Amino acid sequence: MSSWRQAGLTYVNYSNIAAKLLRRALKPEFRTEAARREDSNIRFTPWKDGKAQKHLTTAAETES
């Protein structure tokens, strides 16, 4: 059995922890570029009667 599974983690959680640790270990000149990859944007569009309604804004969109 995998060590992350024995620790009670899902693969996604394990992968996120490993990615954060890797970003912290980078040299400062590479850290800023890697930090940008950490952010993600999601846009939700509700559908009604087969047609897209006005999309809902997320926190990431309002900060930009």
Q: Which domain holds residue 19?
A: 3-40
Q: What is the mean pLDDT of the chain?
A: 79
* The predicted structure's pLDDT at residue 51: 86
In this structure, is residue 59 part of a structural domain? no
CATH of the domain at 23: 1.10.1620
* The predicted structure's pLDDT at residue 25: 92
Q: Tally the domains of the chain.
A: 1
Return the closest-CA partner of residue 38 out of 58, 56, 55, 15.
Answer: 15
Tell me the average pLDDT across 46-58.
Answer: 77
In this prediction the pTM is 0.51
d(CA 39, CA 56): 18
At residue 21, does pLDDT exceed 70? yes
